[in-house]
Amino acid sequence: MSSGPLLIVLSGPSGVGKDSILLRLQELGYPFHYTVTATTRPLRPGEVDGKDYYFVTEAWFERELARHGLLEHACVYGRHYGVPKAPVVTALAAGTDVILRTNVDGARSIRALAPGEVLIFVMPPSLEQLEDRLRRRQTDSDGDIDRRLSEVRAELGALDQFDYAVVNEEGGLDACVSTIAAIVQAEKCRVSRPPVGLA
Amino acid sequence: MSSGPLLIVLSGPSGVGKDSILLRLQELGYPFHYTVTATTRPLRPGEVDGKDYYFVTEAWFERELARHGLLEHACVYGRHYGVPKAPVVTALAAGTDVILRTNVDGARSIRALAPGEVLIFVMPPSLEQLEDRLRRRQTDSDGDIDRRLSEVRAELGALDQFDYAVVNEEGGLDACVSTIAAIVQAEKCRVSRPPVGLA
């Protein structure tokens, strides 16, 4: 009913499962334009450049920042992350829904930039389960994990700036993905939604 | 995520298929409290009192109106229709989602009364198809149908007072019902929704 494509922003604490959700949506064939975030952090084992992230140099990142080529950007634990704007603008202009993943601060920047978007906060079932998940992932040091958990407490305080909150239960990925799909389906029927406006 | 049960109001022009949608949701086992509208119009062939409608007398209707016992009420083609309030209040208090069917004016009265509710406008695919459906139903005279169609044009003008619009395509009942189910699922994840307040 609403005219124009959706810009869906999937956010939430680090380790909550945003990547798995996007991968599952892709596997299920949801016809979104899936953005790839650019980052200066090193590639983790199993990650693929251009698929999981664009692994870029500091110089590339600074150049894109200077020319306003990033939709949002953040510095997390000394590493830069940012969503290149051009592919998003192109996809929306072609009428394609866009889904992107960002941390909580990034979601708030996008809300300021593009009032027509749909902000979804992915919640851990509990802080204990999130901690367990981060430790099992074995990609971060204990110090990193402690820092992350205290950030999560702060991020949960930003929940009221989001449109939807979806809990990603342990072992409940499919239920979480199906809820996100329902949110997208419902948003397409909203009578009044401002069109996504990206410069 | 939102606390409290939902009050879902299914509205739209006469003949658009609201009854079939509710019946299908019931058949599929959606755990709503399904309200039954009271009416002074005569029972149509195949209808069951207490299931399709409560078929009531003018005296009953006037008594309930006087004691504010109806959630909304309308006079359509000389017949009274109204949704008894008590069962809705009881269901919501027990934490049960409520779904009710009403005409477009009724939906607007409920919006004024209960700001936390979800208003869904069921649209005909086109005025031509709606006319065809009404004529095939053979329950209304040609004069009634003409009056209804001109009312529909006016009702479509009230669309912007609704939260969602869902098209009930010819032969597309299951798609329409699945969209309504998605809207309900999404609304349950909304971060901020005023609680339904009924006196």
Question: Of B159, B166, B186, which is closest to A182 when you measure between CB atoms?
Answer: B186
State the count of interchain CB pairs (< 8 A) between A and B.
63
pLDDT for res B133: 81
A90 has a pLDDT exceeding 60: yes
Q: Rounded distance, CA B16 to CA B133, Å?
A: 8
Chain-chain contact of A185 with B190 (C-beta, under 8 angstroms): no
User: Does residue B156 sit at the A interface (CB-CB below 8 Å)?
Assistant: no
Complex confidence, ipTM: 0.83
Helix (H) / strand (E) element for B178: namely helix B173-187
**The whole model's pTM is what?**
0.85
Cβ atoms within 10 Å of B53's Cβ, excluding its own: 19
- A:103-132 residues touching chain B, CB 8 A cutoff: 121, 123
B199 has a pLDDT exceeding 60: no
pLDDT for res A188: 93
- Calculate how close chain A gets to B183, using CA atoms only, in Å: 5
Q: Rounded distance, CA B173 to CA B196, Å?
A: 28
CB-CB neighbors (< 8 A) of A159 in chain B:
191
Range A164-175 average pLDDT: 92
**Nearest to residue A58, comparing CAs of A37, A36, A78?**
A78
Chain-chain contact of A186 with B186 (C-beta, under 8 angstroms): yes
DSSP A90-152: HHHHTT--EEEE--HHHHHHHHHH-TT-EEEEEEPS-HHHHHHHHHHHT-S-HHHHHHHHHHH
Buried b vs exposed e over A71-100: b needs ≥16 C-beta within 10 Å? Answer: bbbbeeeeebbbbbbebbeebbeeeebbbb
| The domain defined by A7-187 carries CATH number 3.40.50.300 | yes
Tell me which amino acid residue B3 is. Answer: S
pLDDT for res B196: 66
B193 has a pLDDT exceeding 70: no
Q: Which of B104, B111, B191 has the most A C-beta neighbours within 10 Å, making it the best mutation to test the interface with A?
A: B191
Q: Mean pLDDT over all residues of chain A?
A: 88
pLDDT for res B12: 92
**Nearest to residue A190, comparing CAs of B121, B193, B146?**
B121
Q: Which of A1-15, A65-79, A104-118 has the lowest mean pLDDT?
A: A104-118
Chain-chain contact of A190 with B159 (C-beta, under 8 angstroms): no
Task: Provide the percentage of residues in chain B whose pLDDT is more than 90.
Answer: 51
Query: For chain B, what are the domain ranges?
Result: 7-187
- For B42-77, the pLDDT digits (tens) are 999 999 999 889 999 999 999 999 999 999 898 877
pLDDT for res B1: 52
